Chains A and B, each alone.
Chain A
Amino acid sequence: MTETRIERHHYDVVVIGAGGAGLRAAIEARLAGKKTAIISKSLFGKAHTVMAEGGAAAAMGNVNSRDNWQVHFRDTMRGGKFLNNFRMAELHAKESPQRIWELETYGALFDRTKDGKISQRNFGGHEYPRLAHVGDRTGLELIRTLQQKIVSLQQEDKREFGSYDARIRVFSETTITELLLDGDRVAGAFGYYRESGEFILFEAPAVVLATGGVGRSYKVTSNSWEYTGDGHALALRAGATLINMEFLQFHPTGMVWPPSVKGILVTESVRGDGGVLKNSDGKRFMFDYVPDVFRKQYAETEDEADRWYTDPDNNRRPPELLPRDEVARAINSEVKAGRGTPAGGVYLDIASRKSAEEIQRRLPSMYHQFKELADVDITKEPMEVGPTCHYVMGGVEVDPDSGAAAGTVRGLFAAGEVSGGMHGSNRLGGNSLSDLLVFGKRAGGHAATYADQLTARPAVSVAAVEAAVETALAPLQRDTGESPYQLQQDLQVVMGDLVGIIRREGELADALGRLAELRERVAKVSAVGGRRYNPGWHLALDLRNMLVVSECTAKAALERQESRGGHTREDYPAMDPKWRRVNLVCSLDGDAVRLTHKPLPAMRPELIGLFDRAELSKYLTDEELAEFDARTEEER
């Protein structure tokens, strides 16, 4: 083996990912006194969190005082079709308000109510106005606030220790390719600086994964290049397990025209503020798509729906505000029925419903984005929108309280989109920003505690590092393989066409065959050029992560014979209460993805008691309902 220079660092906690969850985890670890490293694939502050527009859901009750954590919990479980890990949903609903208020002490400036509190807005699936927001750039506010909090901690350290980097350091434009183990314990992480291509080794007993999602495996996606499922794949290879990988959220309203902005999201608040969906006949079609489980909460006529915007207490909400998966499916059906726009979407019209000034005031960056990117004036004409791969509900199976990864590995934690369970089969808009904060803090804190409790630091083995170097350099040393760009494109076609929003058994089986072929090809990928800032090489290394995660999704999607939330099977169009009791768990067996069934943890009585029986009967098996009835009987 040739001489390779590797920079070595020692940390207590290494956080991989510098979005909302990663930064919040790092803050917590540093506040616990741990020497913390933040690994960011991009520049500091550019994470995908900036794309979140709508807001952060937290039951603060500032706008409607009837809101509380129980209502939020109910909404979250409903949105996730009761497949959520109930404990995560509970912690999330309880702790979100504190996490949002904390941001204000870091300098965040949310929009205000008249009495000076944080303003909250309506959003799909939330019973009360609940989303703390800053115009429509809430994600940017969140990331900037956390970024600036980290800077302020660094300034404290500078005063105390003479160096900004004394206790918390950001490694920007750095990619981790491998987690290193000592037996079943995390011992470190290996990666490279994107800028120079130089290798870097972190020796650390605790690693927090906060790498976000997997959307780059899809053709039409709102996700940035970073979303290659790195954390999912790192966890798998380290012996952790993934759950719910079949559930992907397709945001109902991504731009479909013009092509340069295909996939970019149009925030749900356009609908919350009065925007309506129309097909090419000009019909407001969502009234035809209200599923039975939601029939009671949604308006049946346009008049009632329109009254709701000004009088939500006495009218039911418009069907445009149904959960995302319902809206995405409705749009898909309209387009398939030939009532779509020329570009294959539907119209989202706010221009005819609000004054130009009001639109510009309520949706400033939306207006700005459309004007600049597409030369479309949303105050004058409707937008063309359609479903876009947006969010993966599935992820690392974690202990709900600590964020510790399940499986055989210890010292590995996960938070944010890379973790699974919190959102069940479908995430409500606004729940992800608060998810990042709640579970980022928990994972960071518990990683620090874990590092404290260790009596001896796990050691990194030389052989593992050498193997990691070899794997990383391989694409540059081959010149016979295919271009990584071609392979990514082929992967996107397979996933987009065969494992997309509407799935069928035959297509999923076909997809698995093609993914196996792609695996052979990816193993032989070659990248031209050198190590210095070479995007082709970076993509070549990301591909194997994308591939293994795609396999998990396709396998789990084939296995789950029902339709629920972000998983729609044309051949099994209904929800099946039996499947609600099952989580599909993926693990790695050598090189192959292994899929097992695992029972969902049962909700505690006082939590299940928050729902009425009529609602539960849509989700639970007869057996579970009998148990519920027996318990209610007992309490009487």
Chain B
Amino acid sequence: MGSKRQFRIWRGDETGGDLQDYAVEVNEGEVVLDVIHRLQATEAPDLACRWNCKAGKCGSCSMEINGKPRLGCMTRMSTFEEAETVTVTPLRTFPVIRDLVTDVSFNYEKARETPAFAPPADVAPGDYRMQQVDVERSQEFRKCIECFLCQNVCHVIRDHDENKPAFSGPRFFIRASELDMHPLDTRTDRKEYAQSEMGLGFCNITKCCTEVCPEHIKITDNGIIPMKERVVDRRYDPLVWLGNKIFRRGQVPQTSATSGHSSGAVTTGAAHRGVHSHAGGSHDSGAERQAQQGVNWQREVPHPTAPAVDANGRLPLTELTFDRAAAPSPFGDDVEFPLPAEHLNFAHPQQDEPKH
């Protein structure tokens, strides 16, 4: 009943590595993690891979399967064609330790920076009273199994290590949101804190995080957007808005981040070049060459793009509150076409070979 299926699995460590081919027996009803276990038990006993519950509850076996961030235990082999080669690579946003295991300590650092639940001082244990309808909103976010797939897929930090100090990521936005909606949490500045200290403004709602969430938490719709909207509600001043609209102020990319580290990170990013990187690339030919080969996950990554924010440091939620018609250009609004040739990041496969 089993059949041989083709796998390509990235093997290596922080010094580099490559995709290795394996032909593995796959039985009916198996998932990708079963196949990895079979490889460990047979031809690759030292293949490193995290896992625990194998039931989609602990969020340990996060990996990229055919380029998509997924849980190995939740990816059924029946979703692939019989002849399809399944490519498994480590999470790209975090540094590789070995094979499929990455250093996810970034997430634990961010968890520590997120202010904890602040219990009401005058309510004794046992006297907490809350209505089901009120706890349900936070409960959605507490379903999070911390697989960090949302963090991995988020383009603010994927390939943008330099944004990491200032950006907590979707996992911790919903943590902030959860506490914000907690009926008995006494801290009142969760939204402002998310905006000023956690880098909420970097998010431009592409919903990639929601798409990869194995718990189907509506990270963007129910967590991030309401936080952004409420930040807007509180800070919204119609006169300022009108002034911006008329005088077209504030077209320099910036955020409203007030803390030293976050504003610092953004200004250095923007000041270095003044050109958005989507158009430019990193100007580091070595890094670009590695990027072209596509297998060194530790490569130097292109420089960051600050989001196109308005004068108040926020992303436009709708065209109405933005200072130009239509959506921001995916290349950055300050880019003119055609692009200057030296800023293109295309590298010809044979560019380094001697010309005959």
Taking a contact as CB atoms closer than 8 A, the residue among A97, A116, A260 that contacts B31 in the complex is A260
Complex Cα distance A319/B99, Å?
49
Q: Contacts A372-B74, A373-B55 given: A533-B97 contact, CB under 8 Å? A: yes
Contact A373 B74 (CB under 8 A): yes
Asked whether any CB of chain A lies closer than 8 Å to the CB of B258, the reply is no
A261 to B78, CA, bound (A): 14
Indicate which residue in B97, B111, B131 contacts A116 across the interface (CB closer than 8 Å).
B131
Could you say which of B29, B45, B128, B144 contacts A260, with CB atoms under 8 Å apart?
B29
Asked if A148 and B98 sit within 8 Å, CB to CB, the answer is: no
Q: Check B56–A369 contact: CB distance below 8 A.
A: yes
Complex Cα distance, B45 from A1, in Å, reads 27
Contacts of A148 in B (CB 8 A): 116-117
Judge whether B40 is part of the interface by a CB distance below 8 angstroms. yes
A225 touches B51 (CB 8 A): yes
The answer to whether B130 touches A112, judged by C-beta atoms less than 8 angstroms apart, is yes
The yes or no answer to B163 lying at the interface (CB within 8 A) is no
Q: Chain B 100-126 against A: per-residue CB contact (8 Å), 1 yes, 0 no?
A: 010110001001101111010000011
Select A43's contact among B60, B117, B142, beta carbons within 8 Å: B60
Contact check, B116 vs A152: say whether CB atoms are below 8 A apart.
yes
The stretch of A101-109, A326-334, A424-432 in contact with B is A101-109
Query: Does A17 belong to the interface (CB within 8 Å)?
Result: no
In the complex, the answer to whether B40 meets A535 with C-beta atoms within 8 Å is: yes
A147: min CB distance to chain B, Å: 8
A260 and B30 contacting across the interface, CB-CB below 8 Å: yes
Contact of B104 among A43, A144, A154 (CB under 8 A): A43
Q: Which of B141-187 contact A (CB under 8 A)?
A: 142-146, 179, 182, 185
Q: Does B248 contact A (CB under 8 A)?
A: no
Contact for A155 among B47, B116, B139, CB less than 8 A? B116
B59 within 8 A of A: yes
Q: What 1/0 mask marks residues of chain A from 235 to 269 whose CB sits below 8 Å from any chain B CB?
A: 00000000000000000000001111100100000
Closest to A98 in B: B125
- Select the stretch in A45-53, A303-311, A350-358, A435-443 that faces chain B: A45-53
Contact of A44 among B53, B54, B55, B108 (CB under 8 A): B108
Mark the stretch among A133-141, A273-281, A584-592, A599-607 that contacts chain B. A133-141
Q: A45-B146, A50-B57 are in contact. Are A101 and B128 (CB under 8 A)?
A: yes
Complex Cα–Cα for A487 and B51 (A) = 20
Shortest Cβ distance from B59 into A: residue: A46
A residues near B59, Cβ cutoff 8 Å:
46
Q: Mark A82-116, 1 if CB is under 8 A from B, else 0.
A: 00000000000000011001101111011110011
Assuming A45-B146, A373-B56, A374-B29, is B117 touching A107 (CB within 8 A)? yes
Complex CA distance for A34 and B207, rounded to whole angstroms: 44
User: Hey, which chain A residues are within 8 Å of B327, CB to CB?
Assistant: none
Q: Out of B99, B132, B216, which one reaches A112, CB within 8 Å? A: B132
Which residues of the partner chain A approach B128 to less than 8 Å between Cβ atoms? 101, 104-105
Contacts of A259 in B (CB 8 A): 27-30, 34
Question: Which A residues are CB-close (under 8 A) to B119?
Answer: 105-107
Is B76 part of the binding interface, using a Cβ–Cβ cutoff of 8 Å?
yes
Q: B324 at interface (Cβ–Cβ under 8 A)?
A: no
Q: A485, B41: Cβ atoms under 8 Å?
A: yes
Instruction: Give the Cβ gap from A169 to chain B, nearest Cβ, in Å.
Output: 12
Q: Does A621 contact B (CB under 8 A)?
A: no
Do B60 and A42 touch (CB < 8 A)? yes
Chain B interface, DSSP helix/strand/loop, else mixed:
loop
Give min CB distance, A58 to chain B, whole Å: 11
B116 and A195: CB pair below 8 A? no
Complex Cα–Cα for A50 and B145 (A): 9
Of chain A, the residue at the smallest CB distance from B105 is: A172
- Chain-B contact segment, one of A515-523, A524-532, A544-552, A612-620: A524-532
Hey, which chain A residues are within 8 Å of B116, CB to CB?
107, 148-149, 151-152, 155
By beta carbon, the residue of chain B nearest A262 is B29
In the complex, which residues 33-47 of chain B have their Cβ closer than 8 Å to any Cβ of chain A? 34, 40-41, 45-47
Q: How far is the CA of A116 from the CA of B184 in the complex (A)?
A: 12
A148 to B56, CA, bound (A): 21
| Complex alpha-carbon distance, A141 and B145, angstroms | 10
- Within 8 Å by CB of B60, from A46, A117, A137, lies A46
A373 touches B31 (CB 8 A): yes
CB distance from B48 to the nearest CB of A (A): 4
Most buried by B among A112, A144, A537: A112
Q: Counting CB contacts under 8 A, is B138 at the interface?
A: yes
Query: Does A484 count as interface, using CB distance less than 8 angstroms?
Result: yes
Q: Cβ of A534 < 8 Å from any Cβ of B? A: yes
* Bound form: Cα–Cα A98–B127 in Å: 11
Bound CA–CA A140/B51 (angstroms) = 16
Residues of B within 8 A of A115 (CB): 129
Residue of B58, B59, B139, B214 with highest tally of chain A CB at under 10 A: B58
Q: Cβ of A527 and Cβ of B45 under 8 Å apart?
A: yes
Query: Measured between C-beta atoms, what is the minimum distance from B94 to chain A in Å?
Result: 12
**A489 at the A/B interface (Cβ < 8 Å)?**
yes
Q: How far is the CA of A111 from the CA of B214 in the complex (A)?
A: 22
The distance in angstroms between the C-alpha atoms of A117 and B125, with both chains bound, is 12
Whether A109 contacts B142 in the complex (CB less than 8 A), given A116-B130, A532-B98, comes out as yes
Is A188 among interface residues, defined by CB-CB distance under 8 A? no
- Nearest-Cβ distance from residue B270 to partner chain A, whole angstroms: 31
Question: Does the CB pair B182–A109 fall under 8 Å?
Answer: yes
Asked whether A285 is an interface residue with its Cβ less than 8 Å from the other chain, the reply is no
> How distant is the Cα of A586 from the Cα of B107 in the complex, in angstroms?
43
Which residues from B are CB-within-8-Å of A260? 29-31, 34, 76
> Cβ of A297 < 8 Å from any Cβ of B?
no
> Could you say which of A48, A102, A537 contacts B53, with CB atoms under 8 Å apart?
A48
* A554 CB, min distance to chain B CBs, angstroms: 24
Chain B residues with CB under 8 Å of A3's CB are: none
- B174-223, CB < 8 A from A: 179, 182, 185, 214-216
Residues of B within 8 A of A110 (CB): 135
Is B58 within 8 A of A97, CB to CB? Answer: no
Instruction: Indicate whether A50 sits within 8 Å of B58 (C-beta atoms), given known contacts A116-B129, A117-B129, A151-B111.
Output: yes
Q: A141-B142, A260-B34 are in contact. Are A224 and B74 (CB under 8 A)?
A: no
Q: For the complex, is A217 an interface residue (Cβ under 8 Å from B)? A: no
Pair A532/B52 contact, Cβ less than 8 Å: no
Whether B52 and A226, one on each chain, are in contact in the complex, defined by CB atoms closer than 8 angstroms, is yes
A408–B19 Cα distance when bound, in Å, is: 53
Taken together as a complex, chains A and B put the C-alpha atoms of A67 and B51 apart, in Å, by 40
Q: Do A535 and B48 touch across chains, with their CB atoms under 8 A apart?
A: yes
A164 in the interface (beta carbon within 8 A): yes
**Across the two chains, which residue of chain A brings its CB closest to B131?**
A116
User: Bound state CA distance, A528 and B41, in angstroms?
Assistant: 12
The reply to whether B57 and A51 contact each other, CB–CB distance below 8 Å, is yes
Contact of A489 among B41, B53, B146 (CB under 8 A): B41
Indicate whether A623 reaches chain B with its CB closer than 8 angstroms: no
Q: Write the chain A residue with the least CB distance to B137.
A: A109
Within 8 A of B (CB), among A134-174: 134-135, 137, 140-141, 144, 148-149, 151-152, 154-155, 158, 164, 172
Task: Note all chain A residues with C-beta closer than 8 A to B57.
Answer: 50-51, 137, 140, 365, 369
Q: Which residues does B use to contact A, with CB under 8 Å?
A: 13, 27-31, 34, 40-41, 45-60, 73-74, 76, 78, 97-99, 101, 103-104, 108, 111-112, 114-117, 119, 125-126, 128-132, 135, 138-139, 142-146, 179, 182, 185, 214-216
* 18 sample A-B contacts, Cβ–Cβ < 8 Å, listed by A number: A50-B53, A51-B53, A107-B117, A107-B119, A109-B130, A112-B132, A116-B131, A151-B111, A259-B27, A259-B29, A260-B29, A261-B54, A264-B55, A369-B55, A369-B56, A485-B45, A532-B48, A536-B40
> Which residue numbers of A lie inside 8 Å of B, CB to CB?
42-48, 50-51, 60, 97-98, 101-102, 104-107, 109-112, 115-117, 119, 134-135, 137, 140-141, 144, 148-149, 151-152, 154-155, 158, 164, 172, 195, 224-226, 257-261, 264, 365, 368-369, 372-375, 483-486, 489, 527-530, 532-537
| 6 extra A-B contacts, CB within 8 A, seeds A137-B57, A158-B112, A484-B45 | A43-B104, A48-B52, A60-B126, A224-B51, A373-B73, A485-B45
